[in-house]
Every structure is written in C-alpha cells, then in structure tokens.
Amino acid sequence: MNNSNRKSALFCPSCGYKSSLGGDWKMSSASDQYQLRCPNCGSVVVTQSQYCTEYSEIQN
C-alpha cells in the first residue's frame, strides 16, 4: 500500500502553528489518553479520541 498521499496536517487553534500529524507536536500522555500539544504555544491541539488510528501509527 502506498500511503504517501495520506497527509494529515494539523493546525493549532490558538496560534495557527501548522505541522503534519507526525510532525513536531509534543505528545503527552495522561492515564490512557494521549494529547498533542503545540510546540509553539503549548495548547492542546488534539486528543487520542479524535485520531486514535493515526496515533497508533505514530507510536510505531
């Protein structure tokens, strides 16, 4: 399978920072939930419940 066209860009809602899902977002975990935080302003951009499939790929 070629998934090179599966680009998932995320935008920080607070400062507008943009990066791919596997980019330089800061991943943090609390109990059984993961969060991606903006490396620029520290806001939570997304949580595992929204992108659980993508997260499992990131962790590999």
Q: Using CA of residue 41, residue 43, residue 49, residue 31, what is the dihedral sign?
A: positive
Residue with tokens 């419940």: 49
Least Cβ distance, residue 22 to Zn ion (angstroms): 17
Work out whether 15 is an interface residue with Zn ion (CB under 5 A). Answer: yes
Query: Considering only 2-10, 26-34, 39-47, 49-57, which stretch makes contact with Zn ion by CB under 5 A?
Result: 39-47
Q: Using CA of residue 51, residue 44, residue 58, residue 16, what is the dihedral sign?
A: positive
Work out whether 10 is an interface residue with Zn ion (CB under 5 A). Answer: no
Least Cβ distance, residue 37 to Zn ion (angstroms): 8
